[in-house]
Amino acid sequence: MTIQPGQSVPAVPVKLVTPDGVSDVSSQDVLGKGRVLMFTVPGAFTPTCHLNHLPGYLEAADQFRQAGVDRIVCATANDHHVVKAWAEATGAGDRIDFIADGMAKLAVEMGLDRDLSAGGLGTRFGRNALLIEDGVVRIVNAESSPGEVTSSGAPAMLDALKAL
Protein backbone atom coordinates (compact mmCIF):
# COMPACT_ATOMS: atom_id res chain seq x y z
CA MET A 1 0.00 0.00 0.00
CA THR A 2 1.28 3.44 -0.95
CA ILE A 3 2.34 5.65 1.93
CA GLN A 4 -0.38 8.18 2.72
CA PRO A 5 -0.50 11.71 4.14
CA GLY A 6 -0.22 11.55 7.92
CA GLN A 7 2.06 8.52 7.89
CA SER A 8 5.69 8.65 8.99
CA VAL A 9 8.54 7.79 6.67
CA PRO A 10 10.11 4.40 7.42
CA ALA A 11 13.65 3.86 8.66
CA VAL A 12 15.41 1.97 5.88
CA PRO A 13 19.16 1.82 5.22
CA VAL A 14 20.03 3.82 2.08
CA LYS A 15 23.03 5.55 0.53
CA LEU A 16 22.96 9.34 0.58
CA VAL A 17 24.75 10.96 -2.33
CA THR A 18 25.76 14.61 -1.87
CA PRO A 19 28.61 16.78 -3.15
CA ASP A 20 30.53 15.63 -0.05
CA GLY A 21 30.38 11.99 -1.17
CA VAL A 22 28.38 8.88 -0.39
CA SER A 23 27.31 7.87 3.12
CA ASP A 24 25.32 5.06 4.70
CA VAL A 25 22.29 6.53 6.46
CA SER A 26 18.73 5.76 7.43
CA SER A 27 15.95 7.16 5.28
CA GLN A 28 14.73 8.92 8.44
CA ASP A 29 18.07 10.76 8.67
CA VAL A 30 17.41 12.23 5.23
CA LEU A 31 13.63 12.65 5.28
CA GLY A 32 12.88 13.11 8.96
CA LYS A 33 13.95 16.68 9.67
CA GLY A 34 12.43 19.87 8.35
CA ARG A 35 10.41 20.31 5.18
CA VAL A 36 11.64 17.87 2.54
CA LEU A 37 10.50 17.59 -1.03
CA MET A 38 11.28 14.10 -2.32
CA PHE A 39 10.69 13.04 -5.88
CA THR A 40 11.24 9.47 -6.98
CA VAL A 41 12.29 8.25 -10.40
CA PRO A 42 12.57 4.79 -11.98
CA GLY A 43 16.18 5.24 -12.98
CA ALA A 44 19.14 7.58 -13.28
CA PHE A 45 19.97 8.47 -16.88
CA THR A 46 16.70 6.94 -18.18
CA PRO A 47 15.09 9.20 -20.79
CA THR A 48 12.09 10.63 -18.93
CA CYS A 49 13.92 10.91 -15.61
CA HIS A 50 17.00 12.51 -17.15
CA LEU A 51 15.35 14.80 -19.70
CA ASN A 52 12.00 15.71 -18.12
CA HIS A 53 11.78 15.00 -14.38
CA LEU A 54 15.10 16.01 -12.79
CA PRO A 55 15.60 19.17 -14.89
CA GLY A 56 12.34 20.69 -13.63
CA TYR A 57 13.48 20.35 -10.03
CA LEU A 58 16.89 21.78 -10.87
CA GLU A 59 15.31 24.82 -12.50
CA ALA A 60 12.84 25.35 -9.65
CA ALA A 61 15.23 24.69 -6.73
CA ASP A 62 15.36 28.35 -5.66
CA GLN A 63 11.57 28.64 -5.87
CA PHE A 64 11.20 25.59 -3.62
CA ARG A 65 13.60 27.11 -1.09
CA GLN A 66 11.60 30.37 -1.16
CA ALA A 67 8.45 28.32 -0.51
CA GLY A 68 10.00 26.92 2.66
CA VAL A 69 11.52 23.64 1.46
CA ASP A 70 14.66 22.83 3.43
CA ARG A 71 15.86 19.93 1.31
CA ILE A 72 15.13 18.54 -2.14
CA VAL A 73 15.83 14.82 -2.50
CA CYS A 74 15.68 12.59 -5.54
CA ALA A 75 15.34 8.87 -4.76
CA THR A 76 16.05 6.14 -7.28
CA ALA A 77 16.60 2.38 -7.12
CA ASN A 78 20.08 2.52 -8.64
CA ASP A 79 23.42 1.76 -7.04
CA HIS A 80 25.26 4.69 -5.50
CA HIS A 81 27.98 4.72 -8.18
CA VAL A 82 25.39 5.35 -10.90
CA VAL A 83 23.55 7.90 -8.76
CA LYS A 84 26.77 9.77 -8.02
CA ALA A 85 27.65 9.84 -11.73
CA TRP A 86 24.14 11.12 -12.55
CA ALA A 87 24.33 13.89 -9.93
CA GLU A 88 27.71 14.96 -11.30
CA ALA A 89 26.68 14.73 -14.97
CA THR A 90 23.60 16.90 -14.39
CA GLY A 91 25.25 19.39 -12.06
CA ALA A 92 22.47 18.71 -9.55
CA GLY A 93 24.62 17.99 -6.52
CA ASP A 94 24.64 21.52 -5.12
CA ARG A 95 20.83 21.82 -5.24
CA ILE A 96 19.51 18.28 -4.84
CA ASP A 97 20.55 15.40 -2.59
CA PHE A 98 20.11 11.86 -3.88
CA ILE A 99 19.05 8.63 -2.23
CA ALA A 100 20.50 5.53 -3.86
CA ASP A 101 18.12 2.70 -2.97
CA GLY A 102 19.98 -0.03 -4.84
CA MET A 103 17.84 -2.94 -3.64
CA ALA A 104 14.58 -0.91 -3.75
CA LYS A 105 13.95 -1.51 -0.04
CA LEU A 106 12.80 2.04 0.60
CA ALA A 107 10.64 1.98 -2.54
CA VAL A 108 8.91 -1.20 -1.35
CA GLU A 109 8.61 -0.07 2.28
CA MET A 110 6.91 3.16 1.17
CA GLY A 111 4.69 1.36 -1.35
CA LEU A 112 6.16 3.50 -4.12
CA ASP A 113 7.65 0.55 -5.99
CA ARG A 114 6.88 -0.55 -9.51
CA ASP A 115 7.80 -3.88 -11.08
CA LEU A 116 9.64 -3.06 -14.28
CA SER A 117 10.99 -6.59 -14.78
CA ALA A 118 9.33 -6.85 -18.19
CA GLY A 119 11.70 -4.12 -19.37
CA GLY A 120 14.70 -5.72 -17.67
CA LEU A 121 14.85 -3.19 -14.84
CA GLY A 122 13.47 -5.17 -11.89
CA THR A 123 11.85 -3.41 -8.95
CA ARG A 124 12.17 0.36 -9.12
CA PHE A 125 10.53 3.46 -7.73
CA GLY A 126 7.51 4.65 -9.61
CA ARG A 127 7.42 8.32 -10.56
CA ASN A 128 6.20 10.26 -7.51
CA ALA A 129 6.64 13.46 -5.55
CA LEU A 130 6.12 13.84 -1.81
CA LEU A 131 6.18 16.69 0.65
CA ILE A 132 7.41 15.48 4.03
CA GLU A 133 7.46 17.62 7.18
CA ASP A 134 9.51 16.43 10.14
CA GLY A 135 9.23 12.85 8.91
CA VAL A 136 5.47 12.89 8.29
CA VAL A 137 4.10 12.77 4.76
CA ARG A 138 1.87 15.72 3.88
CA ILE A 139 1.45 15.26 0.10
CA VAL A 140 1.82 12.26 -2.22
CA ASN A 141 1.55 12.86 -5.97
CA ALA A 142 1.91 9.70 -8.05
CA GLU A 143 1.96 9.44 -11.82
CA SER A 144 -0.61 7.07 -13.27
CA SER A 145 1.08 6.58 -16.66
CA PRO A 146 4.70 5.61 -17.30
CA GLY A 147 6.72 8.25 -19.07
CA GLU A 148 4.58 11.13 -17.81
CA VAL A 149 5.77 13.95 -15.59
CA THR A 150 2.66 15.87 -14.59
CA SER A 151 1.51 15.49 -10.98
CA SER A 152 5.04 14.55 -9.81
CA GLY A 153 6.76 17.36 -11.69
CA ALA A 154 8.17 20.54 -10.21
CA PRO A 155 5.32 22.82 -11.41
CA ALA A 156 2.67 20.64 -9.76
CA MET A 157 4.60 20.52 -6.51
CA LEU A 158 5.13 24.29 -6.51
CA ASP A 159 1.36 24.70 -6.92
CA ALA A 160 0.76 22.21 -4.08
CA LEU A 161 3.10 24.17 -1.79
CA LYS A 162 1.38 27.44 -2.61
CA ALA A 163 -2.00 25.85 -1.77
CA LEU A 164 -0.90 24.88 1.76
Mean pLDDT, rounded, of the chain: 93
Residue 120 confidence (pLDDT) = 77
Question: Which range is least confidently modeled, 17-21, 53-57, 88-92, 147-151?
Answer: 147-151
What is the DSSP code (8-state) at residue 127? S
Homologous superfamily assigned to 13-163:
Glutaredoxin (3.40.30.10)
Residue 145 DSSP label: S
* pTM of the predicted model over 0.85: yes
What is the DSSP secondary-structure string of 25-60? EEHHHHHSSSEEEEEEES-TT-HHIIIIIHHHHHHT
Say yes or no to pLDDT of 52 above 80. no
Determine the average pLDDT of the residues in 125-147. 93
126-149: average pLDDT: 92
Q: Which residues are identified as catalytic?
A: 49
25-33 contacts at long range (C-beta below 8 A, 24 or more positions apart): 27/99, 27/106, 28/135, 30/71, 30/73, 30/97, 30/99, 31/73, 31/132, 31/135, 32/132, 32/134, 32/135, 33/70, 33/134, 33/135
